[in-house]
Amino acid sequence: MLTRWAGTAVAVAALVLGPGYSLAAPPEPPSGYTIGAEDILDVTVWNNTGISRTVPVRPDGKISLPLLDDVQAAGLTPHQLKADLTRRLAKYIGSPEVSVVVREIHSLKVAVIGEVRKPGRFDLRGRTSVLDAIALAGGFNDFARRSKMTIVRVQGSTVTRIPCDYNKVVSEGPIEAFFLRPGDTLVVP
């Protein structure tokens, strides 16, 4: 069943994207979640309520904790951050037991700009299709050119523009053909 669906999705994507373009597939899940800016973390030090707290990851990627001041968190997995905090706290506390839990994820965002009712940046809560993003942005306004949408994806120094025809996606196939990745921008002219 899944193989049949995957073949259908590829066929629909080929129709929508046209020749020379590849399917905008969802990203491969990483081996461990990487903490990002704006995430909310629960940092707990066993038997030490003075240091334990819920902290936001600042835009510069750091968190602030008593005794340690600013500590880099963005770009690390919770396990890596736990090891770093344990090492740093060992200077002040004998054998600290540290726990790092990601309470809220706010670093995975997509932007929707152009002819939509509420353009802006939106948190990804899971796999998000182009249609999901349009819904988050309140739908199209009266001037939207639905057949001319573009997904702009930046990977390092490479910018990829993926054309997306909303009308073909809706009328000819499964809407799952286009998934957005964190950092993507959907442009609705």
* Beta carbons within 10 angstroms of residue 119's beta carbon: 17
165 token code pair: 């025809």
Q: Are 2-30+107-188 and 40-104 in the same CATH fold?
A: no
The residues facing 63 across adjacent strands are 71
The per-residue pLDDT for 30 is: 47
Q: Which CATH topology does 2-30+107-188 take?
A: Outer membrane lipoprotein wza fold like (3.10.560)
CA–CA distance, 189 with 187 (Å, rounded to integer): 6
Q: Which CATH topology does 40-104 take?
A: wza like fold (3.30.1950)
128 token code pair: 């998000």
Sorted by where each begins, the domain ranges of the chain are 2-30+107-188, 40-104
106 token code pair: 């706010």
Mean pLDDT per 10-residue section of the chain, whose length is 189 residues: 43 43 43 88 94 96 95 96 96 94 92 97 86 93 94 91 86 67 93
**Whole-prediction pTM:** 0.66
